[in-house]
Amino acid sequence: QVQLVESGGGLVQAGGSLTLSCAASGRTFSSAVMAWFRQAPGKERDLVSGITWTGGLTYYADSVKGRFTISRDNAKNTVSLRMNSLKPEDTAVYYCAAAPRYSNIILAARMYDYWGQGTQVTVSS
């Protein structure tokens, strides 16, 4: 059984930091593109950041560039998202996702085969 489990969400004041972690189990994701999406109430699920299996290529949405950092540890089957200088508009449910069929970062949520259950991030002003 394939599982992605996120942790690290919570409530933080604007300007604060959080680190989200995603642990994969059930199969190795060392060759998969991994990504973080987020979804705010009434909005679509959007790609926040992605990383290729080597970690050599990363993607960040314009809204988080310079504030968020994605990383992965293939030996541990984990991917993390460090979020600094958080803003109220970062409030959303954050999802970890894996796309083992692809070697390049893809933007469309529908192309990702595996998803975590989501973790809530709330940034107060």
What is the pLDDT averaged over residues 9-20?
98
pLDDT at 23 over 90: yes
Query: In this structure, which long-range contacts are made by residues 21-25, counting pairs with CB atoms below 8 Å and at least 24 apart in sequence?
Result: 21/78, 21/79, 21/80, 22/78, 22/79, 22/80, 22/96, 22/116, 23/76, 23/77, 23/78, 24/77, 24/78, 24/79, 24/98, 24/114, 25/77
The string of pLDDT tens digits covering residues 85-119 is 999 999 999 999 999 888 899 999 999 999 999 99
Confidence of residue 30 (pLDDT cuts 50, 70, 90): confident
What is the pLDDT averaged over residues 18-33?
88
